[in-house]
Chain A
Amino acid sequence: MRAGELLALLGPSGSGKTTLLRIIAGLDFPDRGRIIFGGDDATRVPVQQRAVGFVFQHYALFKHLTVADNIAYGLNARRRSERPEKAEIKRRVGNLLDLIKLSGFADRYPSQLSGGQRQRIALARALAVEPRVLLLDEPFGALDAQVRKDLRRWLREIHDRTGQTTIFVTHDQDEALELSDRVAVLDRGRLEQVGTPDEVQEKPVSPLVLKFLGDTIEVEAIAQDGKVLVNGRTTPLTAPAGLTGPVKLYARPWQLQFAEADTAHLHGTVRSSYRTQGRQRIEVDRENAKTVVVEASDTARLAQGRPVGLRIVGGWVFP
């Protein structure tokens, strides 16, 4: 992980992303392997000395302390010799309250705040100790959709302003792709791929990453002399070197186009269609094969039961 970057840990539930985050924080312990911060081995450093900031999904604010005392908690917890002056603590809390745009709320209690406000306090509390790395565990998971959107944008702004090295866990692909500098995709405890949002979307290393990042159509294909054939017709895809024989072709719904029967790779009948945000999505039933979803521009609606041909214009090939 690079200093100053915003990394998203993305994976389905149960993939180990939260566990990994807790191991980095020092809340859980690895069976093997080590945690290294900037070249120092931190595996055996107790949580109190790891200098990480952690934001919990359910905020975990101290209910009996005011907002200001919550934010100052980490500074007050330091040994006397390392603790800043009272005035300095107050100043820093003030700055953080400005940063999270809750300046007037210093003397409120958490129970008097909304969920979004509480999560911002939790973030300020984690930032107050100037952590080496900021860890966020599904920070927007408990909030409703609109607040979530606002906070997302706001977190990105804060990150751009502070340059704080940050890892956040999410199971929401949109969130990960929108917010992060790089995305790490996890599955069942294994790290599948790390890369920029563009990299993971354009060059997924496995069908799993591909499937997790969006709707996918899976088609049987044959790799031959560097070409990929579906139902005997060539596709625009090239097979990776050394791959021949039966392969799997994966495509996104917008990588299928309607085509005349003599150029189509796939054939089927329209089962249903609906419009969404200027596009339409059509489900196509195929004989003896899985139904596929096609996304096309919002032209005339296709009648149910109508036979159609589909052309593959893009996609990925895996063994």
Chain B
Amino acid sequence: MSEAIAHGPASLPSPNPSPAPRDAALRPRSVVTEAGWVRAVLIGVALAFLALFLVLPLITVFAQALAKGWGAYLSAFTEPDARSAIRLTLTVAAIAVPFNLVFGVAAAWAIAKFEFRGKNLLVTLIDLPFSVSPVVSGLIYVLVFGSNGLFGAFLIQHDIQVIFAIPGIVLATIFVTFPFVARQLIPLMQEQGTSEEEAALTLGASGWHAFWTVTLPNIRWGLLYSVLLCNARAMGEFGAVSVVSGHIRGLTNTLPLHVEILYNEYNFVAAFAVASLLAGLALVTLAIKSFLEWRYADDIAAGARRH
């Protein structure tokens, strides 16, 4: 800044030739922040808190898993029970995530692109599973499909097993991850409005064509983001699955349940080894999530960050 401006109108009465301080250290700090030491203390408190509550447990998982070396670590995965747990977890996610993906897109389309009565109630109901305890989420399926449940007699008669079998695990997983995609897409699609779809329709596109060529490209990053979180939760769900699985080793044990069994058997290295697999999944999820948030902030931001 030049001399002229600094000696501007406010200083016209006495153009003082004495040199003014130029030392940056003498400069007063900005009026919209705190004193340096306050900032340092707050940053220290925040980082210490994050380290103690979040980072340390994460490190513990990997440290304990490798406590007895790589050999012990790797052998935890060669066990047939561990392999079947991995297989089951992948299977469950492969069913639950696409289901909720389709549901989420359909729900967001109906809710964001149209005005109808009872919309707020519908949104609240879709959100419901978020506020239900995981254990209760499992319990409700036991009450419907269990041997004493609503359809119990019918299912026994036809020799169909839902509870203590894979279908129950899939259902409970779908329940706990039910709102993920819809929750993310509804605000995003509401923000985008309907004008682009209307433009496509006036240009002669069919509804499907408009969806694939206009809507989907607009929501793809938000969609990917929500699918990612949905998948992490689906593979990691413990409480709900625990209630409906029956803990049959090699048959109805998902990875988190396998961790529990190993831990309760005091097989800590194996428990943490399997846990490290899930923790690795969480880290990859977070990394991609952070990348998406950084790179495509605007395409995701509309979604409320409530999971």
Binding site for B on A (CB under 8 A): 1, 7, 9, 16, 19-20, 23-24, 26-27, 29-39, 41, 43-44, 46-47, 133, 167, 184, 186, 189-191, 194
Contact = CB atoms under 8 A, between A and B. Distances in A.
B3 A29 contact: no
Contacts of A30: 1, 6, 20
A5 to B, nearest CB: 10
Given A27-B31, A33-B20, A47-B31, A20 B13 contact: no
Given A27-B31, A33-B20, A47-B31, A190 B10 contact: no
B5 A189 contact: yes
Contact of B6 (A32, A38, A184, A186): A32
A194 B31 contact: no
A46 B31 CA distance: 9
Interface in B1-40: 1-14, 16, 19-22, 27-28, 31
B303 to A, nearest CB: 25
Counting contact residues on chain B (CB < 8 A from A), the size range is 20 to 34
Contact of A33 (B11, B13, B14, B28): B11
B13 A36 contact: yes
Contact of A24 (B3, B10, B20): B10
Contacts of A31: 1, 6, 22
Given A26-B31, A30-B20, A31-B22, A190 B11 contact: no
A186 B13 contact: no
A36 B12 CA distance: 8
Given A29-B27, A47-B31, A1 B12 contact: yes
A16 B5 CA distance: 8
Given A29-B27, A30-B20, A43-B20, A37 B10 contact: yes
A32 B3 contact: yes
B9 A194 contact: yes
B4 to A, nearest CB: 5
Interface string B63-107: 000000000000000000000000000000000000000000000
Contacts of A184: 8-9
17 contacts: A19-B5, A20-B8, A26-B31, A27-B31, A32-B1, A33-B8, A33-B20, A34-B16, A34-B20, A36-B14, A37-B10, A39-B13, A47-B31, A167-B10, A189-B1, A189-B4, A191-B4
Contacts of B28: 26, 29, 44, 46
A245 B21 CA distance: 45
Given A1-B12, A30-B6, 13 more contacts: A29-B27, A30-B20, A32-B6, A32-B20, A33-B6, A34-B20, A36-B13, A38-B13, A133-B10, A167-B9, A184-B9, A191-B5, A191-B9
Closest 7 CB pairs of A and B: A33-B6, A1-B9, A30-B6, A36-B11, A190-B4, A191-B4, A24-B10
A38 to B, nearest CB: 7
Contacts of B9: 1, 7, 9, 167, 184, 191, 194
Contacts of B2: 189-190
Contact of A19 (B1, B13, B20): B1
A261 B28 CA distance: 66
A101 B11 CA distance: 34
Interface string B279-303: 0000000000000000000000000
B16 A36 contact: yes
Contacts of A7: 9
A198 B188 CA distance: 55
Contacts of A20: 5, 8
Interface in B255-300: none
A16 B1 contact: yes
Given A30-B20, A32-B22, A39 B14 contact: yes
A23 B10 CA distance: 10
B12 A33 contact: no
Contacts of B20: 30, 32-34, 43
